[in-house]
């Protein structure tokens, strides 16, 4: 049996004009296809009208985190992707 980890990822859009809803929809599709579960999204104000997207989800421990970063970075209007937290989930 493999473990499950809890992951928090921050996505920075390219500009204040970036379509955050489209980025969230594409992120959900990409992550679920990679095996992510229980996704939740939150927008966080950064500076000068720019909002980041934080995604929290469960991820199979045996899968490499580079899959997350690479697949989310390929989404249109995404500037950067950063894994902010990665920890083993219990319960």
| Helical H segments across the chain, by residue range | 20-34, 66-73
Q: What is the pLDDT of residue 2?
A: 73
Residue 2 structure tokens: 């493999």
Looking at the chain, how many residues does it have? Answer: 91
pLDDT per residue as tens digits for the range 11-46: 999 999 999 999 999 999 999 999 999 999 999 999
User: Is the pLDDT at 91 greater than 60, yes or no?
Assistant: no
Q: What's the pLDDT score for residue 90? A: 67
Place of tokens 């989930």: 89
Asked whether residue 10 carries a pLDDT value surpassing 60, the answer given is yes
Q: Token match 């083993």: residue?
A: 88
Q: Percent of the chain scored above 90 by pLDDT?
A: 89
CATH number of 4-88: 3.30.70.60
Q: What per-residue confidence (pLDDT) applies to 89?
A: 77
Nearest to 58, CA basis, from 13, 2, 20: 2
């Amino acid at each position: 049996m493999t473990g499950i980890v809890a992951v928090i990822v921050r996505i920075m859009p390219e500009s204040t004009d970036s379509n955050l809803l489209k980025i969230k929809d594409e992120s959900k599709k990409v992550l679920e296809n990679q095996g992510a579960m229980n996704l939740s999204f939150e927008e966080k104000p950064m500076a000068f009208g720019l909002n980041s997207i934080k995604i929290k989800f469960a991820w199979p421990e045996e899968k490499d985190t580079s899959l997350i970063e690479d697949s989310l970075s390929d989404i249109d209007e995404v500037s950067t992707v950063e894994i902010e937290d990665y920890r083993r989930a219990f319960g």
